[in-house]
Amino acid sequence: MFRTLCYLLYLRLLGVLTPRDRLIERLQTELLVARQQKAVLYRHVKRPVYNERDRVVLAALSRVLSRERWGAFMVTPATLLAWHRRFVARKWTRPHRPPGRPSLAPDVQALIVKMARENPRWGYQRIKGEMGKLGVHVSATAIAMLLRRKGIGPGPRRGPTWRQFLKAQAAGIIACDFFTVESAFLRSFYVLFFIELSSRRVHVTTATRHPDSPWVTQQARNLAMGFHDAGIQMRFLIRDRDCKFSASFDEVFETEGIRIIRTPIRAPNANAHAERWVQTLRAECLDFSLIVSEAHLDRVLRTYVHHYNRARPHRALGLLAPEGTGATAPVKDVPAIHRRDVLGGLIHEYSRAA
């Protein structure tokens, strides 16, 4: 390099450089500057950092220069060959699907978020059941992760699970209980209801302010006649020790061959199915309704029970309705959805549009 510099200075002194020689002189001077700066970097930088673009350019230039001229690079020949092999391997490597579950389609995500925002008391399993009714099968985990990303928290927890009786015994068991409703004028209305443990079908009587023995007995006769006409055979009736259940009430069921099972004192979990349904009724309907009269309460309960038996997904039934038609065949794309408002929009039912 020193001899080259002396030669250029000598040519400058002679003044015999042609225009072409001057161009060569300038290029050689720039090359000398680059080499000198490279030598300076070698002394101060222990390990240079190359980005992806640098590797591509240097690897491509290495294929142009001969192997003997690779000393111009700041990396070793083995590094240049490794970079080149990496780029060749990337050319012939098929792209892989990113790890994790495949993302939900945008229209499916929009429908899940819409249901969650329109029904703030619905949990992940409830939304999964509603989506299954529409033929869109999504896991509860995917729904939970989507709602967390959208800033929507989980629905309220719904109390204890139902583990009091075996599934084999539930086919012939019916439970009953009373619940009270306070009207807008602070009047107490009593309602008697029955729930079938196998199908979770609910039967609700009319409301009354005086649940005396004749009234309770008549409600028992009405239910027994309905079971007889429908061909339903029950073996056990679970009730608590409330004094409103008179001896004539028990006699109606005993004549039908139904055995009365009284729960222990102060043990509401022994009749957990009935207690749980009352909680569901209040959380989804009564806590958000202002009752005016007995007729108004009967109309509200009749509408909600119809929705509960025919449209509401139930976890114990595989997210199907007690009187549902079964699981809907899955579809590839989200169909047109029709929303039906129940109880003035307090509850929403979704179905495929015609």
Is it the case that residue 2 has pLDDT exceeding 60?
A: no
Cβ-based burial of 57 (10 A; exposed 0-12, middle 13-18, buried ≥19):
exposed
Task: Please check the confidence at residue 25 and state whether its pLDDT lies above 90.
Answer: no
Among the residue ranges 117-121, 165-169, 331-335, the one predicted with the least confidence is: 165-169
Question: Mean pLDDT for the chain?
Answer: 80
Work out the percent of the chain whose per-residue pLDDT is above 90.
24
Nearest to 167, CA basis, from 129, 202, 197: 197
* 303 vs 342: CA distance, rounded Å: 8
Higher pLDDT, 219 or 198: 219
| Contact present, 147 and 261 (Cβ < 8 Å) | no
Weakest-pLDDT range from 3-12, 103-112, 323-332: 3-12
Asked if residues 252 and 217 have their Cβ atoms less than 8 Å apart, the reply is yes
Tell me the C-alpha distance between 88 and 264, whole Å: 78
| Class of domain 167-317 (CATH, top level) | alpha beta
Question: What does the alpha-carbon distance between residue 296 and residue 287 come to, in Å, rounded to a whole number?
Answer: 15
Tokens read off for 314? 């139930």
Q: Average of pLDDT values for 128-135? A: 89
Q: Is the pLDDT of residue 203 over 80?
A: yes
Q: What are phi and psi of 204, to 5 degrees?
A: -120, 135
Written in H, E and C, the secondary structure of the chain is: CHHHHHHHHHHHHHCCCCHHHHHHHHHHHHHHHHHHHHHHHHHHCCCCCCCHHHHHHHHHHHCCCCHHHHHHCCCCHHHHHHHHHHHHHHHHCCCCCCCCCCCCCHHHHHHHHHHHHHCCCCCHHHHHHHHHHCCCCCCHHHHHHHHHHCCCCCCCCCCCCCCCCCHHHHCCEEEEEEEEEECCCCCEEEEEEEEECCCCCEEECCCECCCCHHHHHHHHHHHHHHHHHHCCCCCEEEECCCCCCCHHHHHHHHHCCCEEEECCCCCHHHHHHHHHHHHHHHHHCHHHCCCCCHHHHHHHHHHHHHHHHHCCCEHHHCCECCCCCCCCCCCCCCCCEEEEEECCCCEEEEEECC
pLDDT of 220 reads 92
Contacts of 237 (CB under 8 A, 6+ apart): 173, 174, 175, 176, 253, 258, 259, 260, 261
Strongest mean pLDDT among 87-101, 154-168, 215-229? 215-229
Q: Which of 102, 95, 127, 132 is nearest to 114 (CA)?
A: 127
Kindly report which listed range (30-34, 242-246, 328-332, 337-341) carries the lowest average pLDDT score: 30-34
Specify the pLDDT at position 221. Answer: 92
Kindly report each contact of residues 81-86 with a partner whose C-beta sits within 8 Å and lies 24 or more positions away, as own/partner. Answer: 83/55, 83/58, 83/59, 84/59
Q: Where are the domains of the chain?
A: 2-87, 106-157+332-352, 167-317
Tokens of 240: 């608590």
Whole-number pLDDT of residue 165: 42
Answer for the pair 215, 196: CB distance below 8 angstroms, yes or no: no
pTM above 0.85? no
**What is the separation, in whole angstroms, between the first and last Cα of the chain?**
87
The more confidently predicted of residues 45 and 107 is: 107
Is the pLDDT reported for residue 352 higher than 70? yes
pLDDT of residue 302 exceeding 90, the answer is yes
Instruction: Please tell me the distance from the alpha carbon of residue 240 to that of residue 261, in angstroms, as a whole number.
Output: 8
Residue 63's nearest CA partner among 82, 79, 80 is: 80
Instruction: Kindly state the average pLDDT of the residues 237-260.
Output: 90
The separation between CA 17 and the C-alpha centre of its own chain, rounded to angstroms, equals 80
- pLDDT score at 43: 61
C-alpha 142: how far from chain center: 4
Q: Is the pLDDT of residue 5 over 90?
A: no
Q: Calculate mean pLDDT across residues 85-102.
A: 68
pLDDT for the residue 14: 45
Q: What angle do CA 12, 13, 15 make, to 5 degrees?
A: 65
Range of weakest confidence among 15-19, 30-34, 230-234, 303-307: 15-19
- Cα separation, 99 vs 329, whole angstroms: 29
